A and B are shown apart, each in its own frame.
Chain A
Amino acid sequence: MDTLVENRAEIWEGFRLTLWMLLVSGILATVLGTVLASFRVSPVGSLRAIGTSYVNVFRNTPLVIILVLSAAFWPTVGLNSIGVLGYSTFVTFAVLGLSVYTAAFVCEAVRSGINSVATGQAEAARSVGMTFTQSLRLVILPQALRAVIPPLTSIYIALAKNTSVAAIVGVPEAAYVMRRLSNKFTSDVYAIFLGIALGYVIIVLVLSGLLQLAERRLAVAR
Chain B
Amino acid sequence: MRFMRTKAALGATALGLSLAACGSDSNSADVEVAEDVSFDAGTTMADLSDAGTMRIGVKVDQPGIGFQEPGEDTPTGFDIEIGRIIAGGLGIDDDGSIEWVETVSDNREPFLEQDKVDIVVASYSITDERRQIVGQAGPYYVTGQQLLVREDDKESITGPEDLEGKNVCSVTGSTSLERMVDEYGSKPVPFATYSECVDQLTNESVDAVTTDGAILLGYAAEEPDELEVVGEAFSEERYGVGYSKDDTEFCQYITDTIQAAMDDGTWAEAFEATLGESGVDTPEPPEMDPCE
Contacts and interface: CB of A to CB of B under 8 A. Distances in A.
- CB atoms of A and B under 8 A apart anywhere in the complex? yes
Interface of A: 68, 71-72, 75-76, 80-81, 88-90, 167-172, 176, 179-180, 183-184
B157 interface: no
Nearest to A176: B190
B136 interface: no
A75 B201 CA distance: 11
B191 A88 contact: no
Contacts of A71: 191, 196, 200
Contact of B190 (A75, A89, A172): A172
Contacts of B203: 75-76, 80
A180 B173 contact: yes
Contacts, number: 57
B189 to A, nearest CB: 4
Interface string B229-264: 000000000000000000000000000000000000
Nearest to A72: B199
A68 B196 CA distance: 9
B185 to A, nearest CB: 13
A180 B178 contact: yes
A170 B200 contact: yes
Contact of B172 (A72, A81, A90, A167): A167
B188 interface: yes
B128 to A, nearest CB: 15
A183 B204 CA distance: 29
A80 B204 contact: yes
Given A75-B200, A180-B173, 10 more contacts: A71-B191, A75-B205, A88-B187, A88-B189, A169-B196, A170-B169, A170-B189, A172-B189, A179-B172, A183-B178
B18 interface: no
A105 B169 CA distance: 32
Q: Is the interface of B mostly helix, strand, loop or mixed?
A: mixed
B167 interface: yes
Nearest to B174: A183
Interface in B184-234: 187-192, 196, 199-200, 203-206
Nearest to A67: B192
Interface residues of B, number: 20
B199 A90 contact: no
Contact of B188 (A76, A80, A172): A172
Contact of A168 (B177, B192, B199): B192
A183 B173 contact: yes
A81 B204 CA distance: 8
Contacts of A183: 173, 175, 178
Interface in B260-277: none
Contacts of B172: 167-168, 176, 179
A89 B205 CA distance: 8
A72 B199 CA distance: 8
A170 B169 CA distance: 8
A168 B190 contact: yes
A170 B190 contact: yes
A153 to B, nearest CB: 30
Nearest to B204: A80
B189 A90 contact: yes
A80 B200 CA distance: 9
Contacts of A172: 187-190
24 contacts: A68-B196, A71-B196, A72-B199, A75-B204, A75-B205, A76-B203, A88-B187, A88-B189, A89-B205, A167-B190, A168-B172, A168-B190, A168-B191, A168-B192, A170-B169, A170-B191, A170-B205, A172-B189, A172-B190, A176-B172, A176-B188, A180-B177, A180-B178, A183-B178
